[in-house]
Amino acid sequence: MSYKIVQKKDLNSQIFLMEVEAPLVARRAEPGQFIILRIDEYGERVPFTIADFDREKGTVTIIVQVVGKTTRDLAKLTDKDSLSDFAGPLGVPTPLEGKKKVAVIGGGLGTAIAYPQAKKLHNLGADVTVITGFRNKDLIILEDDLKKVSNKLIITTDDGSNGLQGFVTDRLKEEIEKGEKFDEVIAIGPLVMMRAVCNLTKEYNIPTTVSMNPVMIDGTGMCGGCRVIVDGETKFACVDGPDFDGHKIDWNSALNRQQMFKKYEQQSCEDGHCRIGLH
Amino acid sequence: MPNMSLKKNPMPEQDPNVRNKNFLEVTTGYTVAMAVDEAQRCLNCKNSPCVNGCPVSVKIPEFISLIAQEKFEDAYNKITETNSLPAVCGRVCPQEKQCESKCVRGIKGEPVGIGRLERFAADYHMEHGEDKTEKPQPNGKKVAVVGSGPSGLTAAGDLAKMGYEVTIYEAFHTAGGVLMYGIPEFRLPKNIVQKEISKLKDLGVNIETNVIIGKSILLDELFEEFGYDAVYIGSGAGLPSFMGIEGEALNGVYSANEFLTRINLMKGYKFPEYDTPVFIGKNVAVFGGGNVAMDAARSAKRLGAENVYIVYRRGKEELPARIEEVMHAEEEGIIFKLLQNPTRFIGDEKGWLKGVEVIKMELGEPDASGRRRPVAIEGSEEILDIDTAVISIGQSPNPLIKNTTKGLDTNKKGCIIADENGAPSKPFVYAGGDVVTGAATVILAMGAGKTAAKAIDEELSKK
Ligand SMILES: Cc1cc2nc3c(=O)[nH]c(=O)nc-3n(C[C@H](O)[C@H](O)[C@H](O)COP(=O)(O)OP(=O)(O)OC[C@H]3O[C@@H](n4cnc5c(N)ncnc54)[C@H](O)[C@@H]3O)c2cc1C
Ligand SMILES: Cc1cc2nc3c(=O)[nH]c(=O)nc-3n(C[C@H](O)[C@H](O)[C@H](O)COP(=O)(O)OP(=O)(O)OC[C@H]3O[C@@H](n4cnc5c(N)ncnc54)[C@H](O)[C@@H]3O)c2cc1C
Ligand code: SF4
Ligand code: SF4
Ligand code: FES
């Protein structure tokens, strides 16, 4: 069995979109869930959020940022290739029903992960404010898609190159100070960004959901490698999450665990049969 | 005239100091001469007590006497009348607690090497024999099997032989369950497992990998939408237990499942040819005393760790692992720290493991399981310098199916409750293996698959 790539499109210099034929994943996929894929026999199992799905066509879309070996190899594939494995949908769907006014915050690639949630909230009739942040204007992704699913879209850049300078937390704070009453904040992005959002929302007492993305292997609760400490308890991000109450996450331990395989991942690309010879 | 030697023919094996650096199989198997000689130790007992010790009642005296007569193929066929995975069982069954524990030759001297002979017959067949699989006449009914461990594989094979159209759904990218991702190559070569699986495919069993029942397809949908007449759940006990002590989230602390999956299934021992890395430090401690702990410790040694400890809270007598594995581990230089228990992990300023505090234990009164309960000796704490810890204190069933299926009763540990035929609380749903018993053995999981296949056939024949 293999999984055909039906579409591949660059969103910016580092981020691309890939639509894959996987009917058994598409049939039950929901926002907040993810898949695990393997490119080939030699590959690592790597998780990606389900950015979109089409139950009728039986396809699932992922949006990938190139950061290391597997994502670099993946970037080389085209709509003539297939993936050897594509399993899911995994994780618990984000509970989005019954929310009235929500701020969805995306940092960089996190924007892509947040997109399906904004879309579903919008379809459920919620008032959606999307705040996304990028390093500079060339890295902005999904602007048109986000516009369609939000009542208000704020895009901010670290260097101000799109005309609005600052971090997502600056923008969120402005909105709250202006008197916007969010009943929930959903923050997705790098750990430090999510932590910053949580520190802010805690001050204002706004419930905040974050999406954790620790290193995973099986994605079915079998290895425990994805454990995160939530409210003092060990949870497995792949089966109990990946979404958790951001005010209860032990951020220090999460940041430490992210470092675990760093040096090996570099080696994988340097000594491994790096299929594209970069690095 | 039987061979009256008190000792088993020794098993040829790689030298400990060579094998603890490679992943090749430790034991190389009997030669024809050794097998025939060993077979002649069997007395062909009329009441064959050994058979009572085997959970699937392998016809032990019969197959052994066929080996003695050098009818190796016939011996193989005799075994497979009741056991479909002899190459696996011959290698991993805890024979000293099962068949061989009942052998009369064991009263004075060593029992007949039943496991070794079983392995010999299976390996001989694999090398010389021919598989003549005839696809059975289809009976028009469909059964889904969840999980491709020994339990699911056995149920699938038996049902296929009866003419059912069988599909196995497996969450991972490779079929085989623990035989593929848990038990290491040096104990159970993966090509053996794959050969057994390809036999099932020849029988017409369809294997769908990357499908997680409870996520991709709900159990109930298998009936309603996919039209199966019955389902067998053999999803194993894959959820690792942690100890709940300080520092378990430090970098360098693994569950045995993660450690062994990285090594076996993802072939981390061939990193960087394969992409998945495993971190191995200089000083590794494995916590636990079962087969899983032995496998983790011996793998760590093979990946270059200098000191590998097994830290176990009871004594040597109580180690639940197969005797052979404990012996092999000792020979390979694994250091046993018995009657000790960890109390906390200690990290450096960057969140990496640098040590563990252990406390000495003594054995107190017997507990509910009949084993003497270990009790901590106050004030006996000491620090062991380690940079890798592998926690191997047990596993329970994964809650994915339980949480998404109505009317499936489970016990406190999350095990599915089933009767002696493997029928749980839900109509046309059967279950067996580790998902029912909690982490147990390959042969018990196979036995459960067999029993359930028979029960499923009886029930569906009535339909
Ligand atoms: C539930 C979940 C959902 C995810 N969704 C997406 C997604 O939609 N799109 C996307 O591009 N990425 C996503 N990720 C992250 C993605 O899985 C990693 O970027 C990928 O595994 C990196 O593989 P690699 O071989 O290219 O990089 P590696 O060579 O493995 O690593 C390169 C660098 O990335 C870091 N890294 C590795 N794994 C992770 C991780 N899981 N999280 C954060 N940093 C990591 C490493 O420490 C290293 O610095 C998700 C992760 C999880 C757990
Ligand atoms: C390291 C290790 C060493 C061992 N050594 C020995 C030994 O020497 N001798 C011995 O007798 N026993 C040994 N055991 C125990 C033995 O392997 C198990 O008892 C046996 O494998 C149980 O078989 P099973 O078929 O019930 O489950 P498993 O072998 O666990 O197979 C279950 C399968 O189901 C799949 N699955 C789970 N959930 C789902 C789902 N929702 N959808 C689809 N698929 C799913 C899993 O991915 C897995 O492939 C060992 C176990 C381990 C971990
Ligand atoms: S299947 Fe296991 S218990 Fe039974 S005879 Fe073979 S080795 Fe012994
Ligand atoms: S009990 Fe031992 S000697 Fe007797 S038949 Fe069984 S294996 Fe042979
Ligand atoms: S990824 Fe293995 S338990 Fe979560």
pLDDT in tens, B409-451: 899 888 999 888 888 888 999 999 999 999 899 999 999 999 9
Query: Cβ contact (<8 Å) for A1 and B251?
Result: no
Reduced DSSP (H G I as helix, E B as strand, rest coil) percent helix, strand, coil of chain A, to 5: 30, 30, 40
The atom number, within ligand 4, closest to the CA of B61 reads: 5
CA distance B247 to B255: 13
Q: B234 alpha carbon to ligand 2 midpoint, in Å? A: 9
Q: What is the DSSP string of B67-88?
A: HHTT-HHHHHHHHHTT-S-HHH
Main-chain dihedrals φ then ψ at residue A251, nearest 5 degrees: -70, -35
Closest B-chain CA to A42: B274
CB of B161 shorter than 6 A to ligand 4: no
Q: Whose CA is nearest to atom 3 of ligand 5?
A: A221
Minimal C-alpha gap between B225 and chain A (Å) = 12
pLDDT in tens, chain A (279 residues): 689 999 999 988 889 999 999 999 999 999 889 999 999 988 889 999 999 999 999 999 999 999 888 999 999 999 999 999 999 999 999 888 889 999 999 998 889 889 999 999 999 999 999 999 998 888 889 989 999 999 999 999 988 888 888 888 889 988 888 888 999 999 999 999 999 999 999 999 999 999 998 888 889 998 888 989 999 888 999 999 899 999 999 998 898 888 765 655 545 444 443 333 232
Is some CB atom of chain A closer than 8 A to the CB atom of B255? yes
When CB atoms are compared, the residue of A43, A85, A224 closest to B255 is A224
When CB atoms are compared, the residue of A25, A88, A218 closest to B172 is A218
> Ligand 3 pocket: which of B98, B102, B196 to mutate (most atoms <8 Å of CB)?
B98
Query: Cβ contact (<8 Å) for A88 and B350?
Result: no
Is some CB atom of chain A closer than 8 A to the CB atom of B269? no
DSSP H/E element including A102: strand A101-107
**Cβ burial, residue A248 (10 Å; 0-12/13-18/19+):** middle
pTM: 0.91
CB of B416 shorter than 6 A to ligand 4: no
User: Tell me, what's the ipTM?
Assistant: 0.88
Q: Which residues in chain B come in under a pLDDT of 50?
A: none
- Exposure on the CB side of residue B392, measured as CA atoms within 13 A: 30
Tokens at B16, concatenated: 């400990």
Q: Whose CA is nearest to atom 7 of ligand 3?
A: B115
Q: A43 alpha carbon to ligand 2 midpoint, in Å? A: 23
What was the pLDDT predicted at B106? Answer: 94
The atom number, within ligand 2, closest to the CA of B235 reads: 34
Query: Cβ contact (<8 Å) for B216 and A27?
Result: yes
Cα–Cα nearest to B142, from B115, B160, B124: B160
